[in-house]
Structure 1
Amino acid sequence: MKEFIKDVLIALVIVVVITLIIKPTIVKESSMESTLYENNYLFVNKLAYLTADHPDYGDIIVFKSHIQRDDGKGDKLLIKRVIGVENDVIDIHDGVVYRNGTALDEPYTKEGYTEGDISDYKVPADQVFVMGDNRRVSLDSRSEEVGTVSEDSIVGKAFIRLYPFNQIKLL
């Protein structure tokens, strides 16, 4: 009986530690297609930026927005890709995104075209510029409703898709 209780306690400690580090998340919208689809089940590393100075280009992050959830219970979590970090200058014209004057190679975008027109936007300190991979429907840093994302509002970095099972992969 002692061994059983010991095993249960160890299992509980492991579960608690994992839930402090990993946040399971379900994709609810289509803004990250063709990388992530609605109802994909992901794990998010909540400690990813504890040791790193800032998110890196291309990271897929989950963050708290200022948009109210449909059920009215708090702010909506959004998932987007990091395009720019503090002090980067972002330009968008003719369907192409430029970071610090260099056109980005973005094979992950759904249609290979980015709507909008942004000129010489400098990303503020401790902020990131994010966009969804499905640029035609993504509500992201191009919108005043979302804007740049404070690093303090980042929940974590998505690092693995677990469902559907035939699409399990590291992100």
Structure 2
Amino acid sequence: MVWFETILVVLTLLTGVVWLADKLFLAKRRRAKGGLLDEEPVLVDYSRAFFPVLAVVLVLRSFIAEPYKIPSSSMMPNLLIGDFILVNKFSYGLRLPITNQKFLALGEPARGDVVVFKPPHDPENNWIKRVIGLPGDRIGFHGDTVYLNGQPLKYQTLGPYEGTGGTTEAPGATLLREDLPGRPHTILESVGVPPPGGGEGDWIVPPGRYFVMGDNRDNSLDGRFWDYHFLPEENLRGKAFLIWLNCEGWVCKNGFDASRIGNGIE
């Protein structure tokens, strides 16, 4: 969330300034007056203690990896409600905290990557979807089939979706494997349940944009339904790569699902 990131940056800067000011000026004045070093002001004491911790957290969260919790079923069957995931923050370049401005380009999303981003219509929140179309691709979606540059993707039916652990979000859904070039993965389809608004159409991905979809095809508000259809590159936050915990609800009403801990994200 933006507010948490803002608070973290502000606290890191404030404690750093106080600690540095004391190191360079205030401590010398106390010595000159014959004061003891352990008689430092409370604000200085707290700043000296918390600044290194806040600085490490800020660097790790902004440039290395950031944790997120999956709040919805749009990425089932691969990500479940209650999954806690780690997102690689340097896969697509280093970005400044708060503004998300890229200052060092390191790479671009590949087709099939699961990405975290801030959609233009909901900039206060982070969303997660799968990259289906890259800049220049022609994407179509008709009759539950994705078309990539004029060719329909191949699908293998794996059977009824039985869920995992306490998951009950997709009763009656069918589990399929979608042969997306470079990244085959599983998806869900609810037979006889069309996605909200239909979601069918054809789109050409502009430069600097991506077309994203959820793996739970009949329960995902993704590029098919957005007014602008495409995810701007500057809205990317990082690449999801690992599930480190599963706990639905803050009190873990369904308990922990230990089988998901440490799973990579396909």
TM-score range, shorter chain: 0.7 to 0.9
Structure 1 window deviating more from structure 2 (39-48 vs 11-20): it is 11-20
Shift of 1:43: 0.5
Indicate the residue corresponding to 1:156 in structure 2.
Answer: 238
State how 1:47-62 maps to structure 2 within 5 Å. Answer: 47-50=90-93, 51-52=106-107, 54-62=108-116
**Structure 2 partner of 1:38:** 81
1:75, distance to aligned residue in structure 2 (A): 2.2
Whether the aligned pair in 2 keeps the contact of 1:56 and 1:85 (CA below 8 Å) is yes
The answer to which structure has the higher helix fraction is 2
CA distance in 1, matches of 2:186, 2:110: 16
What is aligned with 1:108?
A: 186
Of the three residues 44, 61, 64, the one matched with 2:118 is 64
More strand by share: 1
| Alignment partner, residue 18 of structure 1 | 60
1:36 Cα offset (Å): 0.3
On the 8 A contact 2:190/2:218 being kept in 1, the answer is: no
Letter in 2 for 1:24: P
Partner in structure 1 of residue 19 of structure 2: none
Give the aligned residue type for 1:150.
P
Alpha-carbon distance, 1:86 to partner: 0.4
**Structure 1 position 132, deviation (Å):** 0.3
Letter in 2 for 1:109: I
Select which of 216, 226, 239 maps to 1:144. Answer: 226
Question: Among residues 200, 204, 215, which one is paired with 1:117 in the alignment?
Answer: 200
TM-score between the two structures when normalised by the length of structure 1: 0.81
Q: In structure 1, what is the equivalent of residue 124 of structure 2? A: 75
Is contact 2:120–2:235 with CA below 8 Å preserved after alignment? no
Q: Which of 255, 259, 264 lines up with 1:166 in the alignment?
A: 259
Query: Percent of aligned positions with the same letter in both sequences?
Result: 34
- 1 CA distance for matches of 2:133 and 2:245? 29
Q: TM-score, normalised by structure 2?
A: 0.54
Aligned equivalent of 1:5: none
Cα distance in 2 for partners of 1:30, 1:15 equals 29
Structure 1 residue runs without a partner (length 5+) = 1-7, 69-73
How far, CA to CA, are the matches of 1:134 and 1:34 in structure 2? 7
State the aligned residue count. Answer: 156
Q: Which residue of 1 aligns with 2:140?
A: 91
Structure with bigger gyration radius = 2
Q: Give the RMSD, CA atoms, in angstroms.
A: 2.4
Identify the residue that residue 161 of structure 2 maps to in structure 1: none
